[in-house]
Amino acid sequence: MLKVVKFGGSSLASAAQFAKAGEIIRSEESRKYVVPSAPGKRNAKDTKVTDLLYECYAAAEAEEDFKMKLRKIKERFDSIINGLNLKLSLEEEFRTIAENFTKKSGRDYAASRGEYLNGIIMAAYLGYEFIDAAEVIFFDKNGEFEAEKTNKILSKRLKKCEKAVIPGFYGVREDGVVCTFSRGGSDITGSVVAKAAGADLYENWTDVSGFLVADPRIIENPEVIKVITYRELRELSYMGATVLHEDAVFPVRQAGIPINIKNTNAPDEEGTLIVESTCHHSKYTITGIAGKKGFVAVNIDKDMMNSEVGFCRKVLTAFEQNGISFEHMPSGIDTMTVFVHQEEFEGKEQQVLSAIHRLAEPDTIDLGADYALIAVVGRGMRATRGTAGRIFSALSHANVNVRMIDQGSSELNIIIGVANNDFETAIKAIYDIFVTTQL
Ligand code: ASP
């Protein structure tokens, strides 16, 4: 058994958190490769080290005095080192960082130092080898991740060491410049390392016990999803559920390695297992509910639309020409509706409307603002009768008017459009009918 374990920022924010991570790693021989994030927030008012580094580098770039800011960052790391009773000095490392900041070595380089230094501490604490991600994770000259090259070099390197710490979030470009993934990118590094190591499991340790069936800001103490497929996860993350970086699933998915989301503060809880496919029935018909507010429905009418070849393409061209992506597109006989993000659409509204008129010559176009879209996701829906019926009767009992329905052909999800104001009520009603009343 071989596990790659990634620890998020809050799991490594202080010496006490580090010690919890250390205990988890040491408790199983199989946890051989460790991917740390930079120290995150110790409490709600705290600032992540990554953000402090961005701020510090901005001062360096503006040729202001950044030394004070850098000293504060060093203090964060020193308090971890001292709390763990390690004999380790980052004096030399910080001297190099200060020199590189003065030389303006780049924003990505600056941000990456959080993971780099935390990796050094973690390696010293565990007695594992330290592998600088800049030697094994590669980006091309445009900053795009180079999966193949990385996998080849990284797997060769890992074969040579039994236990190692590889910092998350960054790598190196062809020209030697340090480059990072987007924010939260240590999740991707963990996945890349799991693939290269040929791991049996990628454990992603964070501060929640997995993916929740619904947003805890709307539902009090929602249930944890025990098993979820990659496709279900994609649907839920797209609609706003965030625990894992969206791109983190791709490397392990290709290699058939499951991801287990675990809680550093409650390591005995099972967490969520993310898999390619499963015969495990979820406890409820649905796996999860997620949603977003702020959509506009662009309703387009034209007599005999259905028999006009290419009508849809012409309409969508108008959106494409204005750089607007659409979310959903339910249609009727002589009508079609295109759902777009209100924020994205507002500034270009009139250009899009005139482009539709020009390209598709519709009879009328009318706009409906302030829609919320809710995705009810579940692999179990395909085989269950009455799921849609239950959703709509629950919504009707809760006095929510359903303004749009769209069921994907995969039968993995049902998308419901309601007024922004009804968003929370609708989610509560759906959660209650599928989860609360089943308990
Ligand atoms: N430290 C980086 C961030 O705050 C990357 C990560 O934590 O995954 O985004």
Per DSSP, the residues of 23-89 read: HHHHT-TTEEEEEE-----SSTT---HHHHHHHHHHHHHTT---HHHHHHHHHHHHHHHHHTT----
Predicted structure pTM score: 0.87
Once rounded to an integer, what is the mean pLDDT over residues 222-249? 87
Task: Please indicate whether residue 47 or residue 388 has the higher confidence score (pLDDT).
Answer: 47
The ligand 1 site (C-beta within 6 Å) comprises 9, 37-38, 48, 50, 114, 168-169, 183-187
Give the DSSP letter string of 165-193: E--SSEEEETTS-EEE-STTTHHHHHHHH
Segment 336-341 mean pLDDT: 94
The protein residue with its alpha carbon nearest to ligand 1, atom 2, reads 184
Q: Is the pLDDT of residue 159 over 90?
A: yes
As given in the structure block, the two tokens for residue 228 are: 């979820």
**pLDDT score of 439 more than 90:** no
Q: Report, as an integer, the average pLDDT of 31-39.
A: 98
- Ligand 1 centre to CA of 9 (Å) is 7
- pLDDT score at 319: 95
- C-alpha 94 to ligand 1 mean position (Å): 20
Q: Which of 48, 77, 186, 187 to mutate to test the pocket of ligand 1 (most atoms within 8 A of CB)?
A: 186
Q: In whole angstroms, what is the distance from residue 280 CA to residue 258 CA? A: 14
Determine the pLDDT at residue 240: 72
* Alpha carbon of 62 to ligand 1 centroid (Å): 24
Residue 233 C-alpha to ligand 1 middle, in angstroms? Answer: 20
Structure-model confidence comparison of residues 282 and 412, the more confident one: 412
One DSSP character per residue, 263-295 reads ETTSTTS--EEEES---PPPSSS-SEEEEEEEE
Q: What is the pLDDT of residues 99-142, one digit of tens each?
A: 999 999 999 999 999 999 999 999 999 999 999 999 999 999 99
